Structure formats: structure tokens, C-alpha cells
Amino acid sequence: MADLLTHVLSAYVLATLLSLRDDRVTPAMVTAAMVGGLVPDLNRLGLLVPSSTAESILGVPFGWDALLTVGGVAVVIALGTLLVPRQLRRTTAAMLSLGSLSHFVLDSLLLFPSGYTHPYLWPVTAAGLPGPNLFLSSARWPAAVAVVVAGSTWFVARRHGGADGSG
Amino acid sequence: MRSVRRGVAIAACCTLLLVLLVGYGTLTPDPATGRFPSNGAVAAGTVDTGDRVVVAGTARGDTTEGTVVDLDGGPRVVVRGLDAAPGADVWLYGIYRDGSIRNVRAIVRAPWEITYLYAVSLLGGLLTLGRVVRTWRVDTDRWQVVPRDRGEESDG
């Protein structure tokens, strides 16, 4: 994972720019994109309850990292979409997916010691992919760049009537 | 009727999510596809000499044989060819040989870098939570999450 601030700000920027062209992308939908940006990192629930603990409680194999895959994220997005009114489901699903997709794109650029990424495409394939190994999750510059770009986007949205830009 | 269908769909998604969490837990290392044995395999003693591993832990200082690393949730191992100060966070790809690991490629980070990662991530989470509270609300009559009306939104 790149840091979560970079992920949610990236989703904010993409959704806010979309709001300049599409009235369906309201401030609430920009928020939905930001929530989508953090969905893959729900695997960090493993910091609270390690997979090994869950395994011993349930008595079956268990891996929180399923949430850091397209399969796990798709199901969480489906759940999130079912929580909103019927007429908003399509837009909400699109915004959650936008945020999650940007998360996967950023994470696929990360540096891994083996040179192979986490198996993000599971269950389509359990293979790690050879990544470009561009930066570390703890690098400081991605968040700095994200803050500057998000601030600029907020300013542009204010001037051109996009979603409120309050992120 | 719609609410029943919605309830069934939510239950189905929860079940499917549980199936995926369990299914992922059954994955075993497969170096041919980029999934290498990790801390758990080293702890369980299921790696053999010559196996490639990816492990994470904390450096504890140098010996004549190499750098001592306490694996997260696992045993203490000696890593040869590693340059890491005591206390540094280590994430490395290497080759296992008779209880030690020869480093091939390591990511070594000072503890504050990990603290930074989690602190800035917490900030991102709180930022999103704040926006969720300001732009969405729970409709307890229909048990749905609905956008706040424009008039209700603060535009901070």
C-alpha cells in the first residue's frame, strides 16, 4: 500500500475533476470515491485481529489480504452499493470503483523486494505481477504531491462549480 | 419485497466475502508465480535449503556470521549480506540455507519511516471519515445510507 492519504486524495482529485463534467458527481459521490480509495487497505484489519488469530477462532484458513485483491474489493463495493438508495446505486458503484481502481494502479507501482507485486488480481489469478518497483509505501513525496494536486483541484472546482472541493 | 431482496443480496455478499477470506487463506507459496514463502513458513520450518523467501522483521545487530533479524511473529534468523542498523525495519528477498538467509534484495527503513506511514494513513482515514459524516447520513427508517440534502451539507 502507498500511504492512505495519497490514496484518498488521488480518488478525490479524479472524482472532483469528473464533477466538472457530470452533475451526478455530487460532493457525496466524491466522498464515495474516497471511500473506494481506502477499501483495498481494509486488509489492515489484520493489524487488529491477525489472520492467524482469525484462523484459530474460525478453525479454517483465513487471509485478510483477500481484501487487497480485485475479488475482495468487488464484493465490498457490492455491499456498499446495496446500502444506498436504488437510484444512486449505479453512480455510487462507479465512484467506489474509481477510487479502488486508482488505489490498485498506485499500489502496482510500489517497490517489492522480490520484484513481484501482491497478487492483486486474485481470484482471477493468484500470481504476483512483475512491477515497475518505482517507490516505497513509506516514501514522503507521494503524499506531498497528492496534497498539492488535491489543493489545486479544490481551487479549480471552487472556480468552475464542481463538487464542493472540501476534501 | 424489495427490502427482502436487498437483505438477501447483503447476506449473499457477506457469505461470498467470507468465502474469499477463507479461500485466500488456503493459498500456498508458489515461487513460479511470484509468491514466496514468508515469515510463517520460516517459523514452521517448512522451507528447505535453496528456497527463495520474502521475510520481514527488525534488525538486532551484527555478528560474525551476518545480521541478526527478529522476524515479525517468528523466529530470530541470521541474514548474510545485509546492511541494517539495529532497530531498522527490514523487508527482504533472499535464499534460505540451513537456518540463515542470504540477502538478495532488501528494503531497510528507519522506525520513524514506518511511524510516518501509519500516521499519514491515519490522517487519510480521518479525512475520509469526516467527509462521510458531512456528506452522508443514515436513514434509520429504511436502513440506508443517503446523501445529505444540499442544504444540510456544510461546505467547509
Ordered per-residue pLDDT tens for chain B, 156 residues: 778 999 999 999 999 999 999 999 999 999 999 999 999 899 888 999 999 999 999 999 999 999 999 999 879 999 999 999 999 999 999 999 988 999 999 999 999 999 999 999 999 999 999 999 999 999 999 899 999 965 444 433
The three-state DSSP-derived secondary structure of A54-110 is: HHHHHCCCCCHHHHHCHHHHHHHHHHHHHCCCHHHHHHHHHHHHHHHHHHHHHHCCE
Bridge partners of B68, per DSSP, are: B61, B78
Residue ranges of domains in chain B: 1-25, 36-110, 112-138
CB A110 within 8 A of CB A117: yes
A158 inside 8 A of chain B by CB: no
For chain A, what is the radius of gyration of the CA atoms?
17
**pTM, two decimal places:** 0.92
Closest residue in chain B to residue A51, using alpha carbons only: B25
**Mean pLDDT in residue range A48-74:** 95
A164 inside 8 A of chain B by CB: yes
The confidence score (pLDDT) of residue A164 equals 64
Judged by CB atoms closer than 8 Å, whether chains meet at A7 and B124 is answered as: yes
Nearest Cβ partner for B13 among A58, A66, A82: A82
State the nearest Cα–Cα gap between A164 and chain B, in angstroms.
Answer: 6
CATH fold of the domain at B36-110: OB fold (Dihydrolipoamide Acetyltransferase, E2P) (2.40.50)
